[in-house]
Structure 1
Amino acid sequence: MRCPFCSHGETQVVETRDSEEGDSIRRRRRCSGCDKRFTTYERAEIELPAIVKRDGRRTDYERAKLKGSMAVALRKRPVSAEALETAIEHIEAKLRQSGDKEVVSTQLGELVMKELRKLDKVAYVRFASVYRSFDDVSEFVAAIKESGKRG
C-alpha cells in the first residue's frame, strides 16, 4: 500500500480491527518513509444494486458520491469520520440484504435520512431539505419534528 502523503511504497500495519458488523477490516498504517499514519478499510467487493434515478436513468452505485452528500450535510457538525463510515456501511449492508439488482433513488435517500437522523439531527434536516426540495418554512418545521421521532 502506497502512502497517501508521500507515495512511499512501504507501509506497516500498526493496528487491525474488525468493524462492528464484521464485514470490513480497519487497519491503521504507518509510512516507512514519512512516518505519518493513516487508516485503510478492507471489505469484500460485492456488487451493490444499480440506482434508478427519478427520471428513469440507471447509474452504478457510487460510495464516494454517497459519502460526499452525507459529508455536506454533516459539515461543521460534531460527527467523526468513523461514525460516517459506519453509517455508510449500514446503508450498504441494507442494499446488499435487499438482494435487488436495482434500487430506486428514493429508497436510497430514505436509508440515508434514517442514518443521518441517528448521527445528527441538524444534518438530517439539512439533507431532508435538499432531498425533499422544501418550498416553505412549514416543511422545515415538519422535518424538525420528524427528526425527534425514533427511527
Structure 2
Amino acid sequence: MRCPFCGNTDTQVKDSRPAEDHVAIRRRRYCPACAGRFTTYERVQLRDLVVIKKSGRRESFDRDKLERSIRIALQKRPIEAERVDQMISGIVRRLESMGDSDVASDTIGEIVMETLARIDTVAYVRFASVYKNFQAADDFEEFVHELRPPVKAGEDD
C-alpha cells in the first residue's frame, strides 16, 4: 500500500479489525520512511461491475460515486451514518448478486430510489429530483402527489 504522505510503497500494517459495518476490514498502517500513520479499508468485491449509461457508454462501477449521491440526498436528515453504510453495502451486494457484471444506470437508480423510499421520503424525493431530471416545480408536485395516499371522499374537510 502506497503511503499517502510520501509515496513510499513499503508500508506496514499495525492493526486490523472488522469495520463498523462488518463488511470491510479496517487496517491501521505505518510508513517507516516518513513515520506517517493512515487507515485503509478493504472490502470484498464479488465481481467487477460495469455501468451502462443511457448514452450506451460503459464505465467501471464506482462505489464512492454511489455513496456521494446517497449522502447528498440524506444531507441534514436524521439517519445514522452506520445505517447509511449498511444501505450502501446492501445496494452493492444486490448489484453484484444480479448475475451479470453489466448493470444499466437505470437499474442502479431504481434500486437506490426503492431503498431511499423505505428509509426517508425527503431523501427519496431529493434523489429522484436529480435522477428523474426535474425541470420545474410542477415536476416535484406531480412526484410528491404520487407519494401521497389517495384521499377518500369526505376526508379532506
TM-score norm. by structure 2 comes to 0.68
Deviation per CA, 1:79-109: give whole Å up to 9, x if none.
Answer: 2221111111111111111111211111111
Corresponding residue for 1:105?
Answer: 105
Corresponding residue for 1:66?
Answer: 66
Matched residues, number: 141
What are the ranges of 5 or more consecutive residues in structure 2 without an aligned counterpart?
5-10, 150-157
Q: Which has the larger radius of gyration?
A: 2
Corresponding residue for 2:7?
Answer: none
Deviation per CA, 1:15-74: give whole Å up to 9, x if none.
Answer: 747858xxx146597x9x9xxxx8x75432222420011111000000011111111111
Distance of aligned partners of 1:19 and 1:100 in 2 relative to their CA distance in 1, 3 Å threshold: same
Alpha-carbon contact 1:124-1:147 (below 8 Å) kept: no
What are the ranges of 5 or more consecutive residues in structure 1 without an aligned counterpart?
none
* Structure 2 residue 137 is matched with structure 1 residue 137: yes
Give percent identity, aligned residues only.
Answer: 38
TM-score norm. by structure 1 comes to 0.71
Instruction: Detail structure 1 runs of 4+ shifted over 6 Å in the superposition.
Output: none
In 2, Cα distance between the equivalents of 1:26 and 1:144?
40
Alpha-carbon contact 2:24-2:44 (below 8 Å) kept: no
* Structure 2 residue 51 is matched with structure 1 residue 51: yes
